[in-house]
Amino acid sequence: MIETHLAKLRARDTISVEEERVIRDSLGEVRSLPTQHTCIRAGERLHSSTLLLEGLMCRYKDLPGGDRQITELHVAGDFLDLHSFSLKQLDHNVMTLTPCRVVLVPHAKLKDITEQHPHLARVYWFLTALDAAIHREWELSLGRRSAIQRIAHLICELRVRLGLIGQADDDGFGLPLTQADLSDCTGLTPVHVNRTLRDLRERGLMDFRGRRVTITDLPGLQAIAEFDDSYLYLRREDR
Amino acid sequence: MIETHLAKLRARDTISVEEERVIRDSLGEVRSLPTQHTCIRAGERLHSSTLLLEGLMCRYKDLPGGDRQITELHVAGDFLDLHSFSLKQLDHNVMTLTPCRVVLVPHAKLKDITEQHPHLARVYWFLTALDAAIHREWELSLGRRSAIQRIAHLICELRVRLGLIGQADDDGFGLPLTQADLSDCTGLTPVHVNRTLRDLRERGLMDFRGRRVTITDLPGLQAIAEFDDSYLYLRREDR
DNA sequence: CGGACAGTTGACCTATTTCAAATGTGGTGG
DNA sequence: CCACCACATTTGAAATAGGTCAACTGTCCG
């Protein structure tokens, strides 16, 4: 059930059999969620964190005028709100972008981990630091990259993150997002996303159609995005 | 020496006398740094985290073309790189924007804290989650707010954060940044920052001259920024 | 007094947005 | 199997927020 989660952790550190058992013991209720469903709202008091088992979800913030910014995408194996353990409530919403399956991890169990399994606690602390690193890279995209770079960069990021859990290879991957979702990730309008996707296709770099990204020139795509995966911390370390 | 740091923590949780002693015992070398000095570079292996005692610093990422994005500003009492404890190396640089004084906290001491003082460890985990919340708010600014909103929002954020450590009130605060620094925070050009500051002045909202922000209409400034401080987690909680 | 920056302004430019309409496309009910 | 509906995608034309380039003006400090 949590193989994708373990794959994500084990790409970055050593998780012992004992720790794996502790993780499995922390799991609570499993839920299935429909698509386009906001399952956590900013300001709600939370008592458990949510681990994504299957599907695609996002964190987003809305503006009074109706504009939306997605601040991070989540794939299987990600904690959507591990930070709610420290924060107690979130400053953003979390919603599904596809039908999803999730499992709840009570904050009480996480607290036990901080008291009895300090190494595992450090690994989980690392996961929240990794989310922050992704936020920083998105700040760079939103602040300083052009439209074509923003989209190319996002696709490069997703290729690596999905690759870790065996859901992407060099040729492409399934990506059940609309162009409007993509515009909310990149701070662009849906119309401009459409034109930019055509540009990427005409340049022979990638094609995004029918909920699938086909990468036709990976080095070229990475070059235009100026993509460097070091912000994803893919090396194994002793935390 | 670390009063600003304790003020920041105690605005969010209860720190016992014992925990205060643990924090004081974790402090290592104190350093004075000149202005415009990059003291941590992306990719460097780090063995201690740095607590800012005095001055203004920033985290930033550079692009090959020379563009720069500041991802967060830091005031006295902030850890610049508490996350380097989990990450081991950073994905961004850290530099001074004024002359600064900092104190180093060895990662070995932080590791001891995770093993012997789980509550304090959770408080520090919270601090890194707070940095991530600030990153998310900046993503929203960079992705969806107009130039005038981005600058107004940044000023509102700094007023609150500096206020917590007694360095700002409703009338304004010292802010030793250049307009170019401001442009690197907001993803704008220095020229447009200059015009936008004039706009804010002519609207009677705020005036930024001579390294000082004078707020002439705080409610108006907050209104145009659509500022809501909940992402700064100012309520005290039991973490 | 001079030099290095920081700030200011004007004229022009362009990437992206806005608005509006047309064209797929997938699912549902008859 | 078809008609229809709700959406997602695509395209064109016009508008604009913010960028670029270049020059000029403080201002601080040695």
A187 touches strand C (CB under 7 A): yes
Nucleotide nearest to B196 (CA to C1'): D18
Interchain pair A91, B187: CB under 8 A: no
Q: Distance (Å, rounded) from C-alpha A20 to C-alpha A176? A: 31
Q: How long is the CA B55 to C1' C3 vector, in angstroms?
A: 27
Q: How confident is the model at residue A214 (pLDDT cuts 50, 70, 90)?
A: very high
Query: pTM of the predicted model, to two decimals?
Result: 0.97
Q: Shortest CA distance to B27 belongs to which of B108, B124, B105, B112?
A: B105
- In single-letter form, the type of residue at position B130 comes to L
Interchain pair A126, B86: CB under 8 A: yes
Question: Domains (ranges, CATH) in chain A?
Answer: 3-139 (2.60.120.10), 141-232 (2.60.120.10)
- For residue A45, what are its two tokens? 């008091």
Residue B126 has pLDDT above 90, yes or no: yes
State the virtual CA torsion across B188, A228, B41, B120 in degrees, nearest 10: 90
**In chain A, which residue's Cα lies nearest the Cα of B43?**
A230
Interchain pair A87, B133: CB under 8 A: yes
pLDDT, tens digit, for every residue of B63-96? 999 999 999 999 999 999 999 999 999 999 999 9
Give me the count of residues in chain B: 239
pLDDT confidence of residue A239: 86
Query: In the predicted model, what is the mean pLDDT of residues A170-179?
Result: 95
Identity of the residue in A42, A126, A131 whose CB atom sits nearest the CB atom of B132: A131
Q: How confident is the model at residue B239 (pLDDT cuts 50, 70, 90)?
A: confident
Q: How long is the CA A189 to C1' D23 vector, in angstroms?
A: 36
Residue B8 has pLDDT above 90, yes or no: yes
Query: In the predicted model, what is the mean pLDDT of residues A58-77?
Result: 97
pLDDT confidence of residue B182: 98
Query: In the predicted model, what is the mean pLDDT of residues B187-207?
Result: 97
| Chain D nucleotides reached by a protein CB under 7 Å | 7-13, 17-22, 28
Determine contact, residues A213/A140, Cβ cutoff 8 Å.
no
Identify all chain A residues contacting B59, using CB atoms and an 8 Å cutoff.
Answer: 136
Q: Is B21 on the interface with A (CB under 8 A)?
A: no
Query: In the predicted model, what is the mean pLDDT of residues A211-239?
Result: 96
Q: Distance (Å, rounded) from C-alpha B94 to C-alpha B96? A: 7
Determine contact, residues A53/A4, Cβ cutoff 8 Å.
yes
The values of phi and psi at residue A229, to 5°, are -80, 10
A178 touches strand C (CB under 7 A): no
* HSE-CB of A211 using CA atoms within 13 angstroms: 6
Residue A121 has pLDDT above 90, yes or no: yes
Query: In the predicted model, what is the mean pLDDT of residues A83-88?
Result: 98
Q: Distance (Å, rounded) from C-alpha B56 to C-alpha A121? A: 31
Class of residue B157 by CB neighbours under 10 A (exposed 0-12, middle 13-18, buried 19+): buried
Determine contact, residues A94/A57, Cβ cutoff 8 Å.
yes
Determine contact, residues B61/B91, Cβ cutoff 8 Å.
yes
The alpha carbon of residue B209 is apart from the nearest alpha carbon of chain A, in Å, by 24
Q: What is the DSSP string of chain B?
A: --HHHHHHHHTTS---HHHHHHHHHH---EEEE-TT-EEE-TT---SEEEEEEES-EEEEEE-TTS-EEEEEEE-TT-BS-TTHHHHSS-SSEEEESS-EEEEEEEHHHHHHHHHH-HHHHHHHHHHHHHHHHHHHHHHHHHHH--HHHHHHHHHHHHHHHHHHTTS-BTTEEE----HHHHHHHHT--HHHHHHHHHHHHHTTSEEEETTEEEES-HHHHHHHHT--GGGG--S----
Q: Distance (Å, rounded) from C-alpha A122 to C-alpha B124? A: 11
B149 touches strand C (CB under 7 A): no
What number of other Cβ atoms are within 10 A of residue B219's Cβ?
9
Q: How confident is the model at residue B229 (pLDDT cuts 50, 70, 90)?
A: very high
Interchain pair A69, B144: CB under 8 A: yes
Residue A11 has pLDDT above 90, yes or no: yes
Q: How confident is the model at residue A148 (pLDDT cuts 50, 70, 90)?
A: very high
Residue B194 has pLDDT above 90, yes or no: yes
pLDDT confidence of residue A1: 86
Backbone φ/ψ region at B106: left (φ over 0), alpha (ψ -120 to 50), beta = beta
pLDDT, tens digit, for every residue of A186-207? 999 999 999 999 999 999 999 9
Query: In the predicted model, what is the mean pLDDT of residues A152-164?
Result: 98
Q: Distance (Å, rounded) from C-alpha A93 to C-alpha A61? A: 6
Percent above pLDDT 90 for chain B: 97
Relative to beta strand B100-106, strand B68-74 is: unpaired
Query: In the predicted model, what is the mean pLDDT of residues A48-56?
Result: 97
Q: Which of B45, B85, B135 to mutate to test the interface with A (most CBs of A within 10 A)?
A: B135
Determine contact, residues A187/A150, Cβ cutoff 8 Å.
yes
Q: Is B122 on the interface with A (CB under 8 A)?
A: yes
Does an H or E element contain A95, and which?
A: strand A93-96
pLDDT confidence of residue B22: 97
Q: How confident is the model at residue A210 (pLDDT cuts 50, 70, 90)?
A: confident
pLDDT confidence of residue B1: 86
Interchain pair B186, A226: CB under 8 A: no
Q: Distance (Å, rounded) from C-alpha A133 to C-alpha A160? A: 15
- For residue A119, what are its two tokens? 């190494």
Query: In the predicted model, what is the mean pLDDT of residues A127-140?
Result: 98
Query: In the predicted model, what is the mean pLDDT of residues B91-109?
Result: 97
The alpha carbon of residue A150 is apart from the nearest alpha carbon of chain B, in Å, by 11
Determine contact, residues A86/A148, Cβ cutoff 8 Å.
no
The b/e string for B19-52 (b: 16+ C-beta within 10 A; e otherwise) is beebbeebbeeeeebeeeeebbebeeebebbbbb
Q: What is the mean pLDDT of chain B?
A: 97
Query: In the predicted model, what is the mean pLDDT of residues A72-98?
Result: 97
Percent above pLDDT 70 for chain A: 100
Q: Measured in whole angstroms, how far is the alpha carbon of residue B87 from the centre of its chain?
A: 19
The alpha carbon of residue B137 is apart from the nearest alpha carbon of chain A, in Å, by 8
Q: Distance (Å, rounded) from C-alpha A224 to C-alpha B164? A: 43
pLDDT confidence of residue B210: 85
Q: Is A126 on the interface with B (CB under 8 A)?
A: yes
Query: In the predicted model, what is the mean pLDDT of residues A46-64?
Result: 97
